[in-house]
A = this chain, B = another copy of it.
Amino acid sequence: MCIDCAEQRPLLAHPLPFTNVMSHQPSSTPHRILSAVPLASSAQAPIPRGGRELDKFFKALSDQTRRSILRLLRHRELSVGEIVGNFRLSQPTISRHLSVLKEAQLVTDSRSGQHVMYRLSPEELARGAGRFFIHFDECQDLLTRG
């Protein structure tokens, strides 16, 4: 699926390695040329493909509690009870935050006896970020070169 349009022409691989998003054009020559004047009333808002996934991705990251949970899971998996012990919030609240993170595929879970263990999905973190920052050449430079 082209990230810039819905055409079915052959796709070019994108120079950035950490994403599988592809376009018909190399990133330095944008596919959509913006007109200086407002588009006609029939114009669609330029919603990029994959917006739903990016919504989930950034919505999940836009809450401080959820970001803290991700940081807790940096180096090893934890059960729900262990995560709850690090916050002042109730267990159902943490459980719902975890379901949001799981919905965004930022964490995965598995049952281990009585406990449900949660662990980070760092590749999904990188993939989501890549899918967005792919649109910003200068950002790519800053992120990849420093």
Chain A interface residues (CB < 8 Å from chain B)? 16-18, 30, 34, 36-39, 43, 45-48, 51, 54-55, 58-59, 61-62, 64-65, 67-68, 70-72, 74-76, 78, 81-82, 84-89, 120, 122-123, 125-127, 129-130, 132-133, 135-139, 142-146
Contact = CB atoms under 8 A, between A and B. Distances in A.
A98 to B, nearest CB: 15
Copies per complex?
Answer: 2
Given A86-B43, A138-B122, A48 B68 contact: yes
Contact of A135 (B43, B45, B54, B74): B74
A62 B67 contact: no
A62 B54 CA distance: 8
A85 B47 CA distance: 14
A33 B130 CA distance: 29
B138 A123 contact: yes
Contacts of A123: 138, 142
